[in-house]
């Protein structure tokens, strides 16, 4: 019986010439163009493109990944876009636009101790936001003053809050465990 089964397998393998191997890859090499440079990154077809925004920033030498906007066929792509949802082929190229990238002078270095704080106006129905930079160990009063000046408000009339707590201005981002992109709400005193 074993011998008959073995012969059957041998016959099946040797006689069936119609079987072909099809390799279906779950990955695609996506091309990006930024400032005239073309770079490539490999993505799984269902992987969110913005999930690798740090890698995209890194390959183009962009210091702030949040300043990148990706476009395909002159349309801004959504944050949940994937190579499949965009129907990308290996011939397609995504545009990588950089908004508000600081231009460094020769030998100037961005301090790794600086973070960006997002200040949201709670009184404004449009929820306007302003981004200000501060050293991690610098008192928050510095950005509070800057914000008040920018908006032409008297600092004494503003209340700044972080995680529901009112800020006095003596706190530092480091003391409050703030990270770059932390949100501070501001409102007018009643």
Asked whether residue 4 is assigned to any structural domain, the reply reads no
Summarize pLDDT for 143-178 with one digit per residue, the tens. Answer: 999 888 888 889 999 999 999 899 999 999 999 999
- CB under 8 A, 24+ apart: contacts of 169-175: 169/139, 169/140, 169/141, 169/144, 170/139, 170/140, 170/141, 171/139, 171/140, 172/136, 172/137, 172/138, 172/139, 172/140, 173/115, 173/117, 173/134, 173/136, 173/137, 173/138, 173/140, 174/136, 174/137
Examine residue 47 and state whether it is found in any structural domain, yes or no: yes
Q: What is the mean pLDDT of residues 8-33?
A: 66
Q: What is the CATH number of the domain that holds 88?
A: 3.10.20.90
- Is position 11 within any domain? no
- 103 part of a folded domain: no
139 & 88 share domain:
no
pLDDT tens-digit map of 31-85: 999 888 899 999 999 999 989 998 998 998 888 888 888 999 988 899 899 999 9
On the question of pLDDT at 19 being above 80, the answer is no
Residues 81 and 140 reside in one and the same domain: no
pTM, whole model, 2 decimals?
A: 0.43
For residues 122 and 184, membership in a common domain is answered with yes
In a domain, 46, yes or no: yes
Q: What is the per-residue pLDDT across 113-138, written as a single tens digit (0 to 9) for each?
A: 888 888 888 776 555 778 888 888 99
Residues 120 and 170 in one domain: yes
Is 104 within the bounds of a domain?
no
Place of tokens 């636009």: 97
Residue 3 forms part of a structural domain: no
Residue 119 shares a structural domain with residue 184: yes
| Domain-located, residue 141 | yes
Host domain of residue 91? 27-98
Please give the tally of structural domains in the chain.
2
């Amino acid at each position: 019986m074993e011998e008959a089964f073995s012969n059957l397998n041998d016959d099946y393998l040797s006689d069936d010439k119609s079987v072909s191997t099809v390799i279906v890859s779950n990955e695609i090499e996506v091309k990006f163009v930024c400032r005239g440079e073309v770079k490539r990154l490999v993505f799984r077809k269902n992987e969110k493109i913005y999930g690798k925004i740090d890698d995209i920033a890194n390959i183009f030498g962009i210091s702030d990944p949040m300043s990148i906007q990706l476009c395909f066929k002159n349309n801004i792509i959504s944050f949940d876009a994937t190579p499949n949802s965009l129907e990308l082929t290996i011939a397609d190229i995504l545009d990588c636009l950089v908004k508000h990238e600081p231009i460094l002078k020769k030998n100037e270095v961005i301090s790794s101790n600086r973070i960006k704080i997002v200040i949201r106006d709670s009184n404004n129905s449009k929820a306007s936001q302003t981004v200000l930079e501060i050293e991690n160990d610098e008192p928050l009063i510095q950005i509070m003053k800057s914000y008040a000046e920018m908006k032409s408000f008297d600092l004494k009339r503003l209340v700044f809050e972080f995680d529901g707590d009112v800020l006095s201005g003596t706190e530092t981002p480091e003391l409050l465990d703030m990270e770059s992109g932390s949100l501070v709400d501001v409102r007018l005193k009643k």
